[in-house]
A and B are shown apart, each in its own frame.
Chain A
Amino acid sequence: MPAGSLALLTQGAVVSLLLAAGAIIGGTLLAILLAAMAFSRFAAVRIVYRVYVYIVRGTPLLVLALILFYAMPALDLRTGPYIAGTLVLIIYTGALFAEVFRGGVLAIPRPQWESARSLGLPPLAMFRKIVVPLVTRYTLPSYVNVCVMTFAVFTILGLAAAFYFVMCFGIDRLGRMLERHLALRGFAGVRA
């Protein structure tokens, strides 16, 4: 392999890692907001959530990218292809992560809610001390799943498959490490 193509591969890998990181961080923040909407007291807000997930998840990513690409000049947003690409991925992973988080919240046993309520915990403390730690543990494997998929999307843009595999493997290992770190102490058999 000529030296030039290796450099190109490395460069491509670095760029895609950065884009994926941006998409994952942005998507996670968006998803927290979306998942909160899914449990809103107001039916209208819940419907907005469902419609968002339905449309974004049901549209092929490439089509989504095209729509945004053509919509952005109309919205007078002039950005480079990297920003535009990351934005599309944030919108997309936001929907996927949101469903993962929603599932995690649904998995919190009712008695846990009741205990927290009976202590009179205010909403923020409830979120920080009960919801986030439990949902993180429940959803980590599926969360990492979406992360890997997000990264995989960049191969569509024609980046190196070998690097891609190595890096997916990296994300996967990182996920496992986190799982082990966060495992509820004293529970047997939580390790897959």
Chain B
Amino acid sequence: MIAIRGLQKSFGAVQVLHGIDLDIADGEVVALIGRSGCGKTTLLRCINFLEEYEAGEICLDGEPLWYRPGSDGARRRVPEAEARRMRQQMGIVFQQYNLFPHMTVLDNVVLGPRFSQAVSAPEAEALGRRLLARVGLEGKMAAYPAQLSGGQQQRVAIARALAMRPKVLLFDEITSALDPELVGEVEDVIRSLLSDRIMMVLVTHAVGFAREVAHRIAYIADGAIAELGPPSEVLDRPKDPGLKEFLRRVRA
């Protein structure tokens, strides 16, 4: 499980996260929704330490991540090697896919296991083939990213994240850059992952999809969780006036 306590993050003088507390249980899917600029993507990036944060704690299965108290009591970043080991427990999928353009689809997926986790080449390749088949791209293994549609690239990116055999998957608005007719194929892949009971955190604007796959939805406003609960409460009986307004707009 993931436990986030008192997470605070600023960009320069602008504080974007004002003390976030959030627990994610094993096998739980949590969707983060909120207006553009509310801090939901920053929160996701802090979990994977793509952003540093000034205060607060993130624990994965009881292990504090990214920072340790030093001998003088002040918090220090963990050494790079340790940060790498911690990152391998998570997979992140980005809005713009971010595949490596100079590698085939299969090499993109194999890279992490092969070089971060020292899995043998044949074993990593077998894993890559299995995962690409799982996302429906067994026919595209030798293709290069730029030869694929956005939906296909995003499915490769999901396979790449899965190849690390992560405890948590982080999704950063993974369908927002896609043409509407390609959204479905990516959402189908996420649906198919639900049976794996892997933890997932989805930053999304697709409220309907969040209702379908998420166990809980967190509405974030001005860098704080303004409302948190099952979709039936957060989406159908919103209490926060900002959330009501937000829902009215995204549904319109």
Contact = CB atoms under 8 A, between A and B. Distances in A.
A55 B87 CA distance: 42
A114 B98 contact: yes
Interface string A165-191: 000000000000000000011110000
A51 interface: no
Q: In terms of DSSP, what is the predominant structure of the interface of chain A?
A: helix
B205 to A, nearest CB: 20
B111 A118 contact: no
A121 B112 contact: yes
A60 to B, nearest CB: 38
A29 B9 CA distance: 41
A10 B96 CA distance: 55
Contact of A119 (B81, B111, B143): B111
Interface in B159-188: 160, 164
Given A117-B87, A120-B164, A184 B100 contact: no
Interface in B82-103: 84-88, 90-92, 94, 96, 98-103
A118 B50 contact: yes
A119 B83 CA distance: 11
Contact of A114 (B50, B146, B160): B50
Nearest to B86: A120
B146 A184 contact: yes
A119 B145 contact: no
Interface string B32-63: 00000000000000001010000000000000
A165 B103 CA distance: 37
Given A119-B164, A121-B84, A187 B146 contact: yes
Contacts, number: 73
Interface in B121-176: 143-147, 160, 164
Contacts of B90: 118
Contacts of B91: 118
B118 to A, nearest CB: 9
Contacts of A114: 50, 94, 98
Contact of A118 (B87, B102, B115, B145): B87
A119 B146 contact: no
B85 A134 contact: no
Contact of B111 (A129, A134, A184): A129
B15 interface: no
Nearest to B108: A115
Contacts of B92: 118
Interface string B104-119: 0000000110011100
A111 B111 contact: no
17 contacts: A111-B96, A115-B98, A116-B100, A118-B87, A118-B90, A118-B92, A119-B87, A119-B111, A120-B86, A121-B84, A121-B111, A121-B116, A125-B111, A129-B103, A184-B144, A186-B145, A187-B101
Interface of A: 111-112, 114-122, 125, 129-130, 133-134, 137, 184-187
Given A117-B87, A184-B101, A187-B101, 7 more contacts: A118-B50, A118-B87, A120-B117, A121-B115, A121-B116, A185-B144, A187-B146
Pairs A-B, 5 closest by C-beta atoms: A186-B146, A125-B115, A186-B147, A119-B112, A120-B84
